[in-house]
Structure 1
Amino acid sequence: MDHILTLDSRQEAALQVIAEKFIAQHKGDALKALKEMIVLNGHLQERLDAVEGWRRATR
């Protein structure tokens, strides 16, 4: 884990709402929602890594 974020109460409440909606999209199956989130984060990390690699190569 590269970064640890600290959320204030307003951010925490907003995150809670988003999490509840995401789990609801998976018919209440939190494990299924978590698995999808892990896959989505993996794809995003690959894209970020590619952009970083491109930036380093063009310097």
Structure 2
Amino acid sequence: MDQIVTLDSRQEAALQAVANKFVSVRKGDVMKALKEMIVLNGRLQDQLDARSAPRGRQGW
């Protein structure tokens, strides 16, 4: 996750719209939305890590 992403203006506008909706669903509580996003990102990262882990005889 050491990657810097550059967005063009269209992508930035789309991201802003999604962020606004995410916060509004949480009744405007930005801190609650941020905390929830951190938890969701952690779960997604765990899933990605599990998929990229070498397959084989784990635990043997």
* CA–CA distance in structure 2, aligned partners of residues 57 and 15 of structure 1: 35
Q: Report the counterpart of residue 14 of structure 2 in structure 1.
A: 14
AA partner of residue 44 (structure 1):
L
Deviation at 1:57, TM superposition (A): 2.8
How many residue pairs get aligned? The number is 56
After superposing on structure 2, the runs of 4+ consecutive aligned residues of structure 1 that deviate more than 3 Å are none
AA partner of residue 52 (structure 2):
E
* CA–CA distance in structure 2, aligned partners of residues 51 and 38 of structure 1: 20
% same residue: 64
Instruction: State which structure, 1 or 2, has the greater radius of gyration over its C-alpha atoms.
Output: 2
TM-score by length of 2: 0.87
Cα displacement string for residues 3-52 of structure 1 (whole angstroms, at most 9, x for unaligned residues):
11000000000000000000001000000000000000000000000000
Cα RMSD for the two superposed structures: 1.0
Q: Which has the higher helix share?
A: 1
Q: Which runs of 5+ in 1 are unaligned?
A: none
Which secondary structure does the structure 1 equivalent of 2:37 belong to? helix
